[in-house]
Amino acid sequence: MNSQIVDKFGRPHSYLRISLTDRCNLRCFYCMPEEGIELMDKPSIMSLEEIISISSTFQKLGVDTVRLTGGEPLIRKNFDYLVEEMRNLGLAVKLTTNGILLDRHLEHFQKIGIQKINISLDTLDKAKSVFITKRDYYDRIMSNIQQALEMGFQIKLNVVLIKGVNDKEINDFIELTKDQNIGIKFIEFMPFKGNKWDWSKGISHETILKIVSEKYGKVTALDNPKHSTSQNFKVEEHKGSFGIISTITNPFCADCNRIRLTADGKMKNCLFANAETDLLTPHRNREDLEKLILETIQQKKYSRDGMDVKMDASQYENNRTMTSIGG
Ligand code: SAM
Ligand code: SF4
């Protein structure tokens, strides 16, 4: 079905990223401000039934895929029930997780046909992992990644590159693609409220490609799936591949098909959008959400919510933290 959720640039939207919670069992410094965040109070968070019902409204309008994220989505109680209900609606379900609790869910995912999982892993060094995440879960995450690979899941590792922290590990991650069919997604460091963003700490698309080519020689550009947020590549002879999400240096907005729903039920047209439309209150009042969704998408700006030329601090500092938007 063609999506009816079409913005004023003619882009149909068929992909909904749902944040299940703003809570997390890690404290990655680029995502969570050091002082923590003011957490949403429980009654303001969508219940599982509300998530299912609002998702089905989006589906009626043409959404066919949801990505469950957060905060950490796997800390949400009855997560397996939610995923099963989403699958029963006929939605494709994808997941982005830090991997800590993954082992509890893998068998169920296999049973209901979830194949693709994105796991955040910024370093292959245990001490550095503790520095980045402020928690000591490295061994558990690595063992869960191994288990998921052995069970045949298609795994992508999300790596946010930060100068002086993990930029020397780019080729260590590429090495993982040599004998395993694994995908690495290098992500340019993005600005959100309170994350002390400064592009001088970022590693650009161009630099990443240069570092990989210097070691491996020819790097082949792959065909990117429609609406892909990453540009994808492969080192010759390697089983796996890698991609680069270059939101800062080379944004991929032209073909954007994404909408976001925060854990407290606010629709956001873009990761960087300050404007939000409350869907949860009207849903609780049994009002019509379809009209509201179709009106909201008309406000979508072409690229990075209007930060087309540069990342403007007065805009992103008034956005939410990444953990409460849902990455
Ligand atoms: N907790 C889950 C996880 O870490 O995968 C899901 C939520 S997390 C917010 C989703 C993704 O956003 C992760 O891959 C994370 O690395 C990425 N992310 C968070 N803050 C970011 C930032 N400032 N710049 C780029 N990516 C960021
Ligand atoms: Fe938690 Fe994911 Fe943010 Fe890390 S990136 S603090 S795991 S939400």
Whether 160 and 185 have beta carbons less than 8 Å apart is answered as no
The answer to the question of residue 176 being in a domain is yes
Rounded to the nearest integer, the mean pLDDT of the chain is: 94
Q: What is the pLDDT of residues 57-93, one digit of tens each?
A: 999 999 999 999 999 999 999 999 999 999 999 999 9
Domain carrying residue 299: 15-325
Any domain includes 189: yes
Is residue 231 included in any domain, yes or no? Answer: yes
Ligand 2 proximity of 32 Cβ (cutoff 6 Å): yes
Choosing from 160, 197, 260, 324 the residue with most ligand 1 atoms within 8 A of its CB, the one to mutate for a pocket test is 160
**Ligand 2 contact via 71 beta carbon (within 6 Å):** yes
Instruction: Report yes or no on 4 lying in a domain.
Output: no
Atom of ligand 1 minimally distant from the CA of 24: 1
In a domain, 71, yes or no: yes
Find the ligand nearest to 262 CA. Answer: 1
Residue 209 inside a domain? The answer is yes
Residue 35 pLDDT exceeds 90: no
Chain position carrying tokens 């990223």: 17
Task: Give the closest residue (by CA) to ligand 1 atom 20.
Answer: 31
Measured in whole angstroms, the distance separating CA 230 from the mean position of its chain's CA atoms is 12
What percent of the chain shows pLDDT beyond 70? 100
Specify the CATH number for the domain of residue 91: 3.20.20.70
Does residue 301 belong to any structural domain of this protein? yes
Residue 7 falls inside a structural domain = no
- Could you read off the pLDDT of 19-34 as tens digits, one per residue? 999 999 999 999 987 7
pLDDT digits (tens, 9 = 90+) for 292-311: 999 999 999 998 988 877 88
HSE, side-chain direction, 13 A CA sphere, residue 195: 26
| Vertex 135: Cα angle to 172 and 18 (nearest 5) | 85
Instruction: State if residue 133 touches ligand 1 by the CB under 6 angstroms criterion.
Output: no
Provide the domain count of the chain: 1
SS3 57: helix
